[in-house]
Structure 1
Amino acid sequence: MPPKSGDSAELNYDMNYNLFLLKTSMQNLKSAQDKHSVNRWVHKLLASNKSIAEMKLRNDFMYHLVTSVQEGELRAPFNQYPPSAPLSNLTYLLTGNAPSAGKDGNKGGGSWECDLSSEDTDKPMLYRQSPDGGAFLAAQPVPKCGAFCYLAVVSKPPAKDDKPKL
């Protein structure tokens, strides 16, 4: 189903507004390297318009880029050139943590680990215990006003010695 023109028009309007804000605040950056990095991010974000979901994610990245430039100092991930991966694979960059590999090298590992190493204590508990490191949550819309609720239902298979109750 193609995106509704109204949805994409609103998302494009927001993107263009953020582009205007970005252009007017570029003088806050002192380093030519930072300005070049911003330009590369803008080109990557402008090319991310294949679906409504991608456009929403693009706008989330753009918002964080604009706030970083307005403050005059680029924060991660914008202080580096954008990765070549599609934007949908980069949601972890908004949460500030890389995709984690499980004990056997697989992402997520399928277990709910509670590793409280010193580098992880800055992250919210929900992100630390999430198998994807919070990537799913980072891609979800967060209300400007009100509450955000997240509910997860997880089941585990019964142990071999457990007998079903009749």
Structure 2
Amino acid sequence: AQAAKLVAADGAEYDFLGMSVSVSGSRIVVGAYADDDKGSSSGSAYVFEKIDGGGWAQAAKLVAADAAASDYFGTHVSVSDSTIVVTAYGDDDKGSSSGSAYVFEKSDDGAWAQAAKLVAADGAEYDFLGMSVSVSGSRIVVGAYADDDKGSS
């Protein structure tokens, strides 16, 4: 049976909420890669936490500090305890669609804040860093499926 339906408080048509989901304990993170608050398809991710009585409530909306159109932030998300990693495969710091991943930490006052931005040291155009991600404790792994350092991907 369905236990809950999670809906973003500011959700809009074509945000694609639910493109990615990750669960850790009483916390769920849901990506919305086409959210357009910071430009078309800049993206976002939502944090939901279990509340007394068994329901779920939106606790935060995460966006990249340097969000831009076509970043696709929220394509993939991963949560482990008080660490959330959100990818943006369309980010272009190292060239068009080189990609990146953003690390968010929960502070003592309960607020979520961006703690780091991860890019590949050898990142290049169309590497698509961020097409997969996993976090476990302090270890973060981010995939770049089109990296072609050893030949065509």
Whether TM exceeds 0.5 here: the answer is no
Larger Rg, first or second structure (1 or 2):
1
Structure holding more helix per residue: 1
- Alignment TM-score, normalising by the size of structure 2: 0.31
